[in-house]
Amino acid sequence: MNFNQLFFSVLEEQNILKTTKTKPIVDAIKNRYPISFYYSGPRKPKKDSVKAGYRVKAESVALGLSKKGNLILRAWVQPPSTSKKGFAEHGWRTFILSRMNNVQVMSDETFDTKRPQYKEGDDRSMSVTYVTADWTKTPKTKPVEKPQPIKGKPAKVQPVSKPVVKPTEPTPIEPKTPEELPQPNQPEPEIQKPEEDEDELLNESIRKIKRLMFS
């Protein structure tokens, strides 16, 4: 590799490792933080297809380029992670970063055990290895905030007195006078219509005239 190729390779590496997607993964590899993500692997050809699903608390140890030029991640995964072939043989897998989604870095945890078949240094499945896990130092974890003691004496809580409820005496009911008692319904007096009065007067006048004529 000549100087120009080396120069462009370094520039490419720096740009790749500083994207919003790769930077958290690079930090997770260096500090040995587990990561969880959803992976939608290739479906064709069928023999090389990968089952889509979540990979839970994967232990990522290397990041680089595959022989086909894809940016890939090397990680150790176990159940309940999704897997087409299962984990009976081993838990090592490679993942294409462009197919990884919803990446979550568990920065409050670390993995400190080298899994079986793990080999330090460059990964043989990669044509170029950009980042590998660092086992020479204790990984950094976020400090857990301790609860601060409360200064001063706690205030005394005064007991709450229950209100005293006195029984109320019933109010005596005074007997009512006959006038205050409800009265039965009185029949309404018949109201005579003015027309009927005039007819009666006319008839009476006619009777008087007849008596005078025939007396």
Q: How far apart, in whole angstroms, are the C-alpha atoms of residue 81 and residue 127?
A: 27
Mean pLDDT of the 19-39 span? 94
Cα dihedral sign, 9-11-12-14: positive
* Cα–Cα distance for residue pair 21/39, rounded to 1 Å: 14
Q: What is the pLDDT of residue 214?
A: 61
pLDDT at residue 189, as a whole number:
55
Give DSSP secondary structure letters for the chain: --HHHHHHHHHHHHHHHTSTTHHHHHHHHHHT--EEEEE-----SGGG----EEEEEEEEEEEEE-TTS-EEEEEE--TTS--SS-SSS--EEEEEGGGEEEEEE-TT-----PPTT---SS-TT-SEEEEE---SSPPP-PPPPPPPPPPSPPPPPPPPPPPP-PPPPPPPPPPPPTTTSPPPPPPPPPPPPHHHHHHHHHHHHHHHHHHHHT-
Q: Is the predicted pLDDT of residue 54 greater than 90, yes or no?
A: yes
pLDDT surpassing 90 at residue 73: yes
Note the pLDDT of residue 177: 60
d(CA 45, CA 51): 12
State the average pLDDT over residues 166-193. Answer: 60
pLDDT (tens digit, 9 = 90+) per residue, 88-137? 888 999 999 999 999 999 999 999 988 988 877 677 778 888 999 988 87
pLDDT given for residue 118 in this prediction: 84
pLDDT value, residue 77? 95
The answer, yes or no, to whether residue 60 has pLDDT greater than 90, is yes
Q: Report the C-alpha gap between 98 and 95 in whole angstroms.
A: 9
Domain spans in the chain, listed from the N-terminal domain onward: 3-132
